[in-house]
Chain A
Amino acid sequence: MGDFLRCVLFFFASNLVVAQIQFTPTFLRSDFQLDQWYSLGGDDSVQVTTFKFYVSNVQCQGRSISVNPLDNVFLLDAADSSSLTIPTSRIEKEADFTFHLGMDSSLNTCGFLEGPFDPLLGMYWAWNTGYIQLKIAGSGRFGGVLVPFEYHIGGYQHPNAACEKVGVEVGNEPIQIDMHRFLKSLPYASEPRIMHPCPTAKRIHQNFATCFH
């Protein structure tokens, strides 16, 4: 009955929308593309070839969008635009969303190997059970020198757990991921390659969490 009323309301009140979260990576006001070179200012530019990350525990107006926490895990992949939208069945005017960037320890260790948990997706850490929460790789050109970089950011154990709570208010607008800010923050020179949980990895993930608007 409640659902029926909501549907009726939906048809008659045009300012209500099906709440969904759409993520759009942007670089200084234009859409961000994989494989394209972007200037970071001065002589520095970067090209990203892989960019994937997990979002979990999505809540809309303080309520989880699914009963089973295993169904509330999403792998967003810049190479697959359909993965950048998280659908929900909620109908709202303006929705407050919160989500976890990354997964907590229980999701990391649940042993469920289906859907977003499939090791086939290249995010599973076999040698230390758990998932890479953020994978970003590519090359940078800094003062004319080409530097490949690769970050596999993950870990769920204190103090290096890569799981941040992010809150955003969504109307009809997609959530922007500020890639300019994020790419400027990566430690290309000191640590161009990180493949295990560590304080730097944690800091990268924390910086990443500040890039959602």
Chain B
Amino acid sequence: MFSLKKSILPLFVVICVLLLSSAWEDERGLFYQPAHWPKPTYDFKNNPLTDEKFLLGKALFYDPVLSVDSTVSCASCHLQYTAFAHVDHALSHGIQSRVGKRNAPGLMNLAWMPVFHWDGGVLNLNAQPVNPITHPDEMGSSLKVVLAKLNGSPVYQKAFKEVFETEKIETHHLMKALAQFTVSLVSANSKYDKVMRKEKGIHFTEQEEAGHRLFQKHCNECHKAPLFTTHEFKANGIGLDPALADFGRMSITQKSKDSLLFKIPTLRNIAYSFPYMHDGRFAKLKDVIQHYATLSASKGLKSKEFSKRPIALNDNQQKDLLAFLKTLSDTEFLFNKKYSFYSLKSK
């Protein structure tokens, strides 16, 4: 028994190295685990990543075939160069009902996200695309249309048959393919990451350094590194927009203590994913910082973290904080070809 283990060990190491190196290879779309990050919450066993499934998922993400009238794709609201957020639109439009009440968040590091959407109403990344594809009040009807369209497309029929070994494309095939793409969107190569990894020749400027200290003091409790969110639900004092009457987490739990709480968003690539907050009410990052700097005067509901340690920031400190937030931009992620437009039809 012992000798068997011994003889398998080198082989095991070789396989591990091969697996690791292939995952890091840039032309490949697969997920990778940055050093010193927590373990992902996504269940990879249930949807093992392959290059082919990733490419199929990417093609679907960019294809308006997923909307009933073939006008809107996932990428219409989630653009790569804005960290997969919906730029310039405070409230995403394109499909009706609840989705139209909220700002489209950036999509990155979803493998570590335990629950999805601003109110945490969606528990599985695999099932998440059902939301944009269907209207909550007529569930299933447009999913039917979309699956019929895919099953009627020779290109998609062939692609799904190749990777899922199925004659008929069903909901779970479509969902798993899309998740292969979305779960692979890992952003972990910003200037901040390089500084933390002590990469040669890369340092914070004095201003960024000062901003980092302010961040750790005032923001890190909620926007916790390395993901820059604890994924908890909190109120940051922006208050209710009466026109939208969006009570956030409470609509899911039905508990009054959850009124006006929203999921803490990541701050990675934050300089690119404007406008800000669940309803996109702030157009510029400096407006957000000003909101926090003047929080004590705000009438909106505030989580207790803010009363423990009131945030008072003068103009210079606000600039320092802004400079630090900009170090969270990962241009490699924003412009990486492995995430950009792809179509099976052009192949």
Residues of A within 8 A of B (CB): 109, 111-114, 118-129, 157, 160, 195-198
Contacts and interface: CB of A to CB of B under 8 A. Distances in A.
B140 interface: yes
A114 B130 contact: no
B310 interface: no
A126 B253 contact: no
Contacts of B134: 119, 126
Given A113-B171, A114-B170, A128-B252, A122 B123 contact: no
Contacts of A123: 139-140
29 contacts: A111-B43, A111-B123, A111-B126, A111-B127, A112-B172, A113-B127, A113-B175, A114-B171, A118-B170, A118-B172, A119-B130, A119-B139, A119-B143, A119-B171, A120-B143, A120-B147, A121-B140, A122-B139, A124-B130, A124-B139, A125-B136, A125-B139, A126-B139, A127-B122, A127-B131, A157-B253, A160-B254, A197-B254, A198-B254
Nearest to A157: B253
A127 B117 CA distance: 9
Given A113-B175, A198-B254, A129 B140 contact: no
B254 A113 contact: no
Interface of B: 43, 46, 98, 117, 121-124, 126-127, 130-131, 134, 136-137, 139-141, 143-144, 147, 170-172, 175, 251-254
B109 to A, nearest CB: 19
B143 A109 contact: no
A109 B123 contact: yes
B92 to A, nearest CB: 15
Nearest to A129: B123
Nearest to A113: B172
Contacts of A109: 123-124
B137 A195 contact: yes
